[in-house]
């Protein structure tokens, strides 16, 4: 359990025992734990736990004990070595952390589990949030699990699957003729008016706590995969970045692990991947700015990347600089191509955001920024099932079971395309 909440800009302390949103300076609040006193919390203790969910790291999450968690079994997602096939073979050590295996099929489950756990403990009865889609579905599910109400504001062209799952979860959904930052403004006004708790990412302190567990898990996953008794971090992490909560969370996890004495000071180079049509963090990185501002006319089919303004922009700028990382865009065409390559060459049916990081990795390899001998991790942040409306069924062949020449029909079908 944390014992402090600190402003990420000024370091000013805020009361950890009461509900908090942004800091008094209007910036994200970060939970701090008495890490130096946690001598019994070791990697071996974690390894021996039967719970494979993210709550096996409960000492660094906002609970006194794991049975307080509002959980659907989030975390403990597959860590998959890429099969050396097609362009994947150009990398010697390429890994995919498949967050689509989470409850509600995305990494948003981790953040919602932590944030709704803490909100429930502090007596919240209604949460409200703006979402690009996946956070909405996750919030609805965890609110249902907690027995509290959930109000969601999403852009009107949010993937239908996200809207339907939110409604099914009992949330009240508002479709807004705007982008996620417009939804955020309306959500804030509604929270002020109706007394709901604003669960916008990084505008309350605990979604990031859930998402940071990706960083903890990665160190265990890579060590296990390499047969090492010491925790291991990769050389490069590519992360599809909207609000950046996962990126900031993982960086926080690495710092905590160092303070716990679990790892040294070596860090992965962190890569922000955004869509060409919505790239505020890449633009700020290229200009050397710490603040990113609003990206005008944001547009991409990767809905999770359609975040024109991020409250954690300055934190991402610091991470990119400190880690020696970089920030890169891909086009919608490239990211869809990447998504299909992951599906057809690796069997990983991921969200378009995963296709984006894969194509970004290839480009960085071409540029020599990534070396083929390096340990590289791609974050597949969600499952494709939410994005099936972007796919087509080309190549599907209709077969008449009553045909007198069934096998000949089948053969003709096969010859229609390369198979
Ligand atoms: C599948 C997917 N990937 C990536 C993102 C961006 O995540 P973050 O806000 O942590 O940058 C989102 C956010 O909606 C998402 O749904």
User: What DSSP string runs through 249-303?
Assistant: HHHHHHHHHHHTTSS-S--PEEEEEEETTB-HHHHHHHHT-S-----TT---S-G
Q: Ligand 1 mean position to 64 CA, how many Å?
A: 29
Q: Ligand 1 mean position to 67 CA, how many Å?
A: 28
Whether 210 lines ligand 1, by a CB cut-off of 6 Å, is: no
pLDDT > 70: what percent of the chain?
Answer: 99
Q: Could you tell me the pLDDT band of residue 86, with boundaries at 50, 70 and 90?
A: very high
- How far apart CA 31 and CA 9 sit, in angstroms, is 13
In the numeric block, which tokens belong to residue 56?
């096996």
Whether 353 lines ligand 1, by a CB cut-off of 6 Å, is: yes
- How far apart CA 264 and CA 319 sit, in angstroms, is 17
Using alpha carbons only, give the angle 318, 119, 313 rounded to the nearest 5 degrees.
15
- How far apart CA 91 and CA 95 sit, in angstroms, is 10
Q: Would you state the pLDDT for residue 392?
A: 83
- Which ligand 1 atom is the nearest neighbour of the CA of 106? 1
Return the best residue to mutate from 96, 99, 107, 202 for the ligand 1 pocket (most ligand atoms within 8 A of CB).
107
Q: Would you state the pLDDT for residue 171?
A: 97
Whether 135 lines ligand 1, by a CB cut-off of 6 Å, is: yes
Q: Would you state the pLDDT for residue 7?
A: 97
SS3 per residue for 320-332:
HHHHCCEEEEECH
In the chain, what are the helix, strand and coil shares in percent, each to the nearest 5?
45, 15, 40
Q: Ligand 1 mean position to 380 CA, how many Å?
A: 10
Q: Would you state the pLDDT for residue 414?
A: 86
Q: Could you tell me the pLDDT band of residue 123, with boundaries at 50, 70 and 90?
A: very high
Q: Ligand 1 mean position to 327 CA, how many Å?
A: 16
In the numeric block, which tokens belong to residue 197?
């708790």
Whether 75 lines ligand 1, by a CB cut-off of 6 Å, is: no
Number of Cβ atoms within 10 Å of the Cβ of 49 = 13
- Average the pLDDT over 289-294 and give the result: 95
- Average the pLDDT over 340-344 and give the result: 96
In the numeric block, which tokens belong to residue 231?
């925790």
- Comparing 134-143, 189-198, 380-389, 390-399, the range with the smallest average pLDDT is 390-399
Higher-scoring residue by pLDDT: 419, 333? 333
- Domains of the chain by range and CATH? 79-105+206-388 (3.40.50.1100)
Which residues fall within 8 angstroms of residue 321, CB to CB, at 6 or more apart?
A: none
Q: Ligand 1 mean position to 397 CA, how many Å?
A: 35
Q: Would you state the pLDDT for residue 61?
A: 98
State the pTM of this model.
0.96
CA 392 to chain centroid: 26
**Quick check: 417 pLDDT over 80?**
no
Return the best residue to mutate from 298, 312, 360, 382 for the ligand 1 pocket (most ligand atoms within 8 A of CB).
382
In the numeric block, which tokens belong to residue 385?
């099932």
Using alpha carbons only, give the angle 355, 358, 364 rounded to the nearest 5 degrees.
140
Q: SS3 of 338, please?
A: helix
**Which residue has tokens 């990769």?**
234
Q: Could you tell me the pLDDT band of residue 128, with boundaries at 50, 70 and 90?
A: very high
**Range list of β-strands (E), 61-200:** 79-81, 93-98, 126-130, 149-155, 172-176, 197-198
């Amino acid at each position: 359990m944390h014992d402090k909440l600190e402003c990420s800009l000024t370091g000013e302390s805020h009361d950890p025992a009461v509900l908090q949103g942004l800091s008094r300076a209007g910036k994200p609040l970060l939970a701090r734990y008495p890490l130096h006193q946690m001598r019994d919390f070791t990697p071996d203790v974690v390894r021996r736990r039967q719970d494979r969910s993210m709550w096996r790291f409960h000492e660094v999450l906002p609970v006194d004990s794991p049975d307080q968690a509002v959980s659907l079994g989030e975390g403990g997602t597959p860590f998959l070595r890429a099969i050396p096939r097609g362009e994947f073979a150009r990398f010697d050590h390429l890994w995919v952390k498949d967050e689509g295996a989470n409850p509600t099929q995305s990494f948003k489950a981790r953040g919602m589990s932590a944030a709704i756990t803490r909100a429930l403990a502090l007596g919240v009865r209604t949460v409200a949030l703006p979402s690009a889609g996946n956070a909405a579905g996750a919030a609805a599910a965890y609110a249902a699990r907690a027995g509290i109400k959930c109000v969601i504001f999403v852009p009107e062209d949010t993937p239908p699957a996200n809207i339907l799952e939110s409604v099914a979860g009992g949330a009240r959904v508002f479709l807004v003729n705007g982008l996620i930052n417009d939804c955020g403004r309306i959500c804030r006004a509604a929270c002020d008016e109706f007394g709901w708790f604003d669960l916008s990412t990084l505008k309350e302190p605990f979604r990031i706590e859930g998402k940071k567990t990706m960083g903890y898990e990665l160190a265990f996953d890579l060590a296990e995969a390499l047969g090492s008794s010491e925790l291991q971090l990769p050389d490069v992490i590519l992360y599809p970045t909207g609000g950046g909560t996962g990126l900031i969370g993982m960086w926080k996890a690495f710092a905590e692990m160092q303070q716990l004495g679990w790892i040294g000071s070596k860090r992965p180079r962190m890569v922000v991947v955004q869509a060409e049509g919505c790239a505020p963090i890449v633009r700020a990185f290229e200009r050397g700015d710490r603040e990113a501002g609003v990206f005008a006319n944001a547009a991409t089919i990767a809905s999770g990347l359609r975040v024109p303004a991020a409250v954690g922009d300055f934190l991402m700028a610091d991470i990119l600089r400190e880690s020696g990382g970089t920030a890169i865009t891909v086009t919608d065409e490239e990211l869809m191509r990447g998504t299909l390559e992951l599906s057809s060459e690796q069997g990983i049916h991921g969200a378009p955001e995963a296709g984006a990081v894969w194509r970004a990795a290839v480009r960085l390899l071409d540029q020599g920024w990534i070396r083929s001998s390096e340990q590289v991790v791609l974050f597949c942040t969600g499952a494709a099932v939410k994005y099936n409306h972007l796919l087509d069924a080309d190549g599907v062949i209709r077969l008449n079971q009553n045909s007198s020449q069934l096998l000949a029909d089948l053969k003709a079908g096969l010859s229609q395309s390369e198979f």
